Amino acid sequence: MTLLTVVLLSAAVLLLAYRIYGKALTRLLRLDRDARTPAVVLRDDVDYVPIEPKFLMSQHFSAIAAAGPIVGPILAGVMFGWLPALLWILIGSIFIGGVHDMTSLVASIRHKARSIADVVREHMSKRSYLLFLLFIWIALIYIIVAFTDLVADSFVGTQDLGGGRSTTGGAVATASLLYLALPVIMGLLLKYTKLPLGLATVIFLPLIAISVWLGPIFPLDINTLFHLTEATSQRWWGVALLAYCFIASIVPMWLLLQPRGHLGGYFLVVVLLGGIVGVLIGAATGRFQADYPAFTGWTAPNGASLFPMLFITIACGACSGFHSIIASGTTSKQLHRETDAKPVGYGAMLLEAMVAVLSLTCVMVLAKGSPVLEGNKVDVIYAYSLSRFLNVLYVPTAFAYTFVALALTTFVYDTLDVCTRLGRYILQELIGVQDRSGRVISTAITVGVPLIFLLWQPVGAGGKIESAWKTFWPLFGASNQLLAALALLGVTVWLWRTYRAKWIWFATGLPTVVMYVMSSWALIAFIRKGFTSAFSITQDTTGEVHPFASHFLSSLPRSPVPWAALVLLTLALLVLAEAVRVFTIPPGGPTTEGLPVTAEAV
Peptide bond into 308 cis (omega under 30): yes
CA atoms within 13 A on the CB side of 321: 34
pLDDT (tens digit, 9 = 90+) per residue, 558-575? Answer: 777 888 899 989 988 998
Evaluate if residue 292 carries a pLDDT over 90. Answer: yes
pLDDT top residue among 107 and 438: 107
pLDDT for 520: 95
Whether pLDDT at 421 is above 50: yes
- Note the pLDDT tens digit of each residue in 179-235: 889 999 999 999 899 899 889 989 998 998 898 888 888 999 998 888 888 888 888
Backbone angles phi, psi at 67, to 5 degrees: -80, -10
With 0-12 / 13-18 / 19 or more C-beta atoms within 10 angstroms meaning exposed / middle / buried, residue 540 is exposed
| Rounded-to-integer distance, Cα 469 and Cα 415, Å | 14
233-268 pLDDT tens trace:
888 999 999 999 999 888 887 888 778 877 877 777
Decide: 49 and 274 in contact? Cβ < 8 Å. no
Could you tell me if residue 462 is left (phi over 0), alpha (psi between -120 and 50 degrees) or otherwise beta? Answer: left
The confidence score (pLDDT) of residue 553 equals 58
- Please tell me the predicted confidence (pLDDT) of residue 599: 40
Percent of the chain with pLDDT over 70: 90
Sequence-ordered list of residues with C-beta below 8 angstroms from that of 140, at least 6 positions apart, any chain: 419, 422, 423, 426, 446
pLDDT tens sequence across 16-48: 999 999 999 999 999 999 999 999 999 987 678
Q: Which sign, positive or negative, has the C-alpha torsion 420, 422, 428, 431?
A: negative
Span 505-530, mean pLDDT?
94
Range name among 413-427, 443-457, 547-561 with the lowest pLDDT average: 547-561
Q: pLDDT tier at 601 (50, 70, 90 boundaries)?
A: very low
Among 104, 89, 91, which Cα is nearest to 25's?
104
158-162/165-168 β-pairing: antiparallel
Task: Please say if the pLDDT value at position 1 is more than 80.
Answer: no
> What is the pLDDT averaged over residues 149-161?
81
Radius of gyration of the chain (CA): 24
- 61-77: average pLDDT: 87
* Confidence (pLDDT) at 588: 57
Average pLDDT over the chain, rounded to an integer? 86
For 356-373, the pLDDT digits (tens) are 999 999 999 999 989 899
Confidence of residue 590 (pLDDT cuts 50, 70, 90): low
pLDDT tens sequence across 128-153: 888 888 888 988 888 898 889 888 88
Question: For the whole model, what pTM was predicted?
Answer: 0.87
The predicted-structure confidence for 432-463, as pLDDT tens digits, reads as follows: 877 888 889 999 999 999 998 888 766 555 54
Least confident of 77-81, 143-147, 329-333, 554-558: 554-558
pLDDT reported for residue 456? 76
The predicted model gives 85-89 an average pLDDT of 98
Please count the other Cβ atoms lying within 10 Å of the Cβ belonging to residue 369.
Answer: 8
pLDDT, mean of residues 471-486: 89
